[in-house]
């Protein structure tokens, strides 16, 4: 096995999957993991420390990764629920163990392998080739002091990957395992079900006040008042600032003159041409032939034939189908010699023979549009609006900065705003749902920020979009409380009835499941709906009906053909009793088509399981200590 591991020392970047979460270490600076510092380490492995600085770097890189992935859904609370700190430190421990194992086995990554891996990475390539300058820039952006540091990290990654691949790739899969895995994935079943709708049991669901009270007592968390926030707020609105702005016509006239080129439409001309196409490096014989062709066209036009007719007959340009028309264009668009002739002609004129790099031309000037200047009066009001909006935006930003400065000198938002003669709005306690009726809290992002703020936190000045700024100070936060029963008695009674109706639906479903009658008779007898699936695989491929939930399919593919699923199941439509009508074995030709991919997936799954078992056994040989108190600091 050791020889196999050494032979696997080749260029892959390690992708260590531990605890179900893939963590990237390319940027973590493994060489510094165990240098230690003066502060207590986060963890030790055989007394070798993982320092706080190293852990901080690793942990924050993971936070940044989740932040980019989750966007607005990201929160520290969510990261805590994922136990990200513990996962990070344990993965650092596992990585150290794998490096140590590679060193013990004499596994190394030769310089040539490292360089080949770097140079073949598309990240560092431009136009399909390795770009040294791009490589230097990107490795610096990754946080490495030099390309050599990155290559050392790459060398360690290759060593780690070699260990993992040697263990994972050592698994064997039998033909029977492949066949079983294929059958499990590609077998189809036709399922039928009777789904008891709890609403049909509402009349039979008898619940008195005592039962409703008991329901309320056991479900108090469903009868909580919403969080309410009391705050003061200030809006800095560009519309209000703009209302007092006056811009005279003289200033607008000056801007108009400065931008006059923007309001000037250049002269444009419409022309047609006939082309005898020949390249500049053509033989003299060919050039003479093309010259003769254009002279023939010229003679026909002089004889009175319409230009468009001759162009359609003789021109080598795609415009021939349009009588040679090139449409409208401004000066400078066409090649220089062609352009010069067009803009020296009078309307209706036909040019003499013109030579360009494309060949020989005859040109007819079809029409002329004179240059046009949009008048000041036409654009004056638009300019006024533009200038007002720009200045109002600048002024609201300045006011927001002045308010920020005033907050540094005053104790409250109210005092700071009053010192600047800004209007303060007092908002009495409101819930998140009620806040939408408040003009200053209409914006969802502002509401979200307000309700994430606690009393005593620094005043926030938020950019609310379109030049608006909202400053707010949370004065009080009224946390949820259980609403007394008397106020929610009607809701509790209804909820208790619905729960009782659901229990009756489960009881009825169990009764149906114990019967040997056909589903058609059972559906008619109990007045419930019958459902039949299309042929479906265990992963849901084949039928997208909402009643075919993941749990239902899992249970249905464990049941025998012709048999009931052994318990009633909750689905969106109610409580389902499910029978397996038909089992459709996959065809042999499908097995041959899918065998390779099934084998690969099976080997990968078994390899990951073997690697996990190996890692668990190897960890037992190391003394691993994690300082939970230090970990809590992050």
Rounded to whole angstroms, the Cα distance separating 468 from 484 reads 42
As a whole number of Å, the end-to-end CA separation of the chain is 41
Nearest of 602, 632, 633, 634 to residue 171 by alpha carbon: 602
Task: Please answer whether residues 528 and 196 qualify as being in contact, where contact means their C-beta atoms are separated by less than 8 angstroms.
Answer: yes
Long-range (24+ apart) CB contacts under 8 A made by 459-462 are 459/407, 459/413, 459/416, 461/400, 461/403, 461/404
Task: Please answer whether residues 189 and 559 qualify as being in contact, where contact means their C-beta atoms are separated by less than 8 angstroms.
Answer: no
Backbone dihedral angles phi then psi of residue 548, each to the nearest 5 degrees: -85, 70
Task: Please answer whether residues 529 and 547 qualify as being in contact, where contact means their C-beta atoms are separated by less than 8 angstroms.
Answer: no
Burial class (CB in 10 A: 0-12, 13-18, 19+), 202: middle
Task: Please answer whether residues 176 and 10 qualify as being in contact, where contact means their C-beta atoms are separated by less than 8 angstroms.
Answer: no
Nearest of 31, 13, 34 to residue 22 by alpha carbon: 13
* 3-state SS class at 117: helix
Below-50 pLDDT ranges, the chain: 1-37
What element of type H or E holds 188?
strand 188-196
What's the pLDDT score for residue 14? 30
* 3-state SS class at 228: strand
What's the pLDDT score for residue 295? 95
Neighbours of 544 (CB within 10 A): 9
Buried b (16+ CB within 10 A) or exposed e, 163-174: bbbbbbebbebe
Nearest of 222, 344, 341, 193 to residue 273 by alpha carbon: 341
What's the pLDDT score for residue 12? 28
Backbone dihedral angles phi then psi of residue 136, each to the nearest 5 degrees: -65, -45
What's the pLDDT score for residue 30? 38
What are 236-253's pLDDT values in tens digits? 999 888 888 889 999 999
What letter does residue 540 receive in the DSSP assignment?
S
Rounded to whole angstroms, the Cα distance separating 261 from 258 reads 8
Nearest of 116, 188, 185, 189 to residue 154 by alpha carbon: 116
Rounded to whole angstroms, the Cα distance separating 411 from 314 reads 87
What's the pLDDT score for residue 463? 87
What's the pLDDT score for residue 99? 92
CB under 8 Å to 191, separation ≥6 — which residues? 532, 533, 536, 548, 552, 556, 578, 579, 580, 581
Q: At what angle do helices 209-218 and 485-513 cross, to 10 degrees?
A: 90
What's the pLDDT score for residue 241? 87
What's the pLDDT score for residue 516? 86
Put simply, whether the predicted model's pTM sits higher than 0.85 gets the answer no
């Amino acid at each position: 096995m050791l020889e196999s591991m050494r032979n696997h020392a080749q260029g892959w970047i390690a992708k260590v999957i531990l605890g179900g979460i893939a963590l990237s270490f390319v940027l973590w600076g493994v060489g510094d993991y165990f240098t230690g510092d003066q502060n207590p380490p986060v963890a030790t492995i055989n007394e070798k420390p993982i320092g706080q600085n190293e852990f901080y770097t690793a942990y924050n890189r993971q936070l940044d990764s989740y932040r980019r992935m989750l966007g607005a859904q990201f929160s520290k609370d969510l990261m805590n629920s994922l136990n990200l700190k513990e996962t990070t430190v344990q993965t650092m421990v596992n990585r150290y163990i794998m490096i140590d194992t590679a060193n013990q086995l004499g596994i190394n990554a030769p310089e040539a392998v490292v360089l080949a891996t770097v140079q073949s990475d598309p990240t560092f390539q431009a136009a399909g080739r390795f770009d040294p300058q791009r490589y230097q820039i990107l490795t610096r952006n990754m946080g490495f002091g030099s390309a050599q540091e990155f290559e050392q990290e790459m060398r360690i990654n290759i060593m780690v990957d070699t260990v993992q691949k040697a263990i994972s790739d050592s698994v064997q899969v039998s033909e029977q395992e492949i066949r079983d895995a294929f059958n499990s994935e590609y077998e189809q079943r036709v399922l039928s079900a009777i789904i008891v709708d709890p609403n049909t049991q509402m009349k039979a669901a008898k619940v008195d006040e005592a039962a409703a009270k008991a329901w309320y007592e056991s479900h108090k968390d469903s009868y909580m008042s919403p969080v309410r926030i009391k705050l003061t707020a200030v809006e800095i609105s560009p519309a209000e600032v703009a209302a007092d702005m006056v811009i005279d016509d003289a200033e607008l006239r000056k801007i108009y003159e400065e931008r006059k080129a923007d309001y000037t439409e250049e002269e444009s001309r419409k022309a047609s041409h006939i082309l005898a196409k020949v390249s500049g490096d053509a033989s003299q014989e060919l050039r003479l032939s093309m010259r003769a062709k254009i002279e023939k066209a010229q003679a026909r036009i002089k004889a009175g034939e319409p230009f468009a007719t001759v162009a359609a007959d003789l021109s080598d340009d795609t415009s021939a189908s349009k009588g040679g028309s090139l449409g409208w264009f401004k000066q400078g668009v066409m090649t220089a010699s062609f352009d010069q002739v067009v803009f020296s002609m009078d309307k209706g004129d036909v040019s003499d023979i013109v030579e360009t790099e494309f060949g020989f031309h005859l040109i007819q000037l079809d029409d002329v549009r004179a240059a046009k200047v949009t008048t000041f009066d036409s654009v004056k009001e638009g300019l006024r609006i533009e200038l007002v909006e720009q200045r109002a935006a600048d002024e609201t930003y300045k006011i927001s900065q002045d308010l920020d400065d005033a907050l540094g000198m005053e104790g409250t938002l109210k005092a700071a705003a009053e010192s600047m003669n800004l209007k303060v709005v007092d908002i009495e306690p409101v819930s998140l749902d009620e806040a939408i009726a408040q003009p200053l809290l209409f914006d969802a992002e502002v509401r979200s920020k307000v309700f994430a703020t606690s009393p005593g936190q620094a005043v926030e000045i938020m950019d609310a979009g379109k030049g608006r700024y909202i400053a707010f100070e949370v004065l009080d936060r009224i946390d949820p409380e259980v609403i007394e029963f008397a106020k929610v008695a009607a809701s509790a009674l209804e909820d208790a009835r619905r729960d009782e109706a659901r229990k009756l639906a489960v009881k009825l479903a169990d009764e149906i499941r114990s019967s040997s009658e056909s589903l058609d008779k059972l559906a008619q007898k109990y007045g419930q709906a019958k459902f039949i699936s299309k042929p479906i695989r265990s992963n849901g491929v084949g039928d997208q009906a909402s009643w075919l939930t993941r749990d239902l399919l899992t249970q249905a593919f464990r049941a025998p053909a012709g048999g009931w699923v052994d318990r009633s199941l909750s689905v969106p439509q109610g409580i389902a009793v499910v029978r397996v009508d038909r089992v459709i074995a996959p065809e042999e030709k499908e097995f041959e088509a899918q065998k390779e991919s099934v084998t690969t997936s099976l080997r990968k799954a078994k390899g990951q399981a073997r690697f996990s078992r190996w890692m668990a056994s190897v960890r037992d040989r190391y003394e691993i200590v994690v300082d939970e108190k230090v970990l809590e600091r992050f």
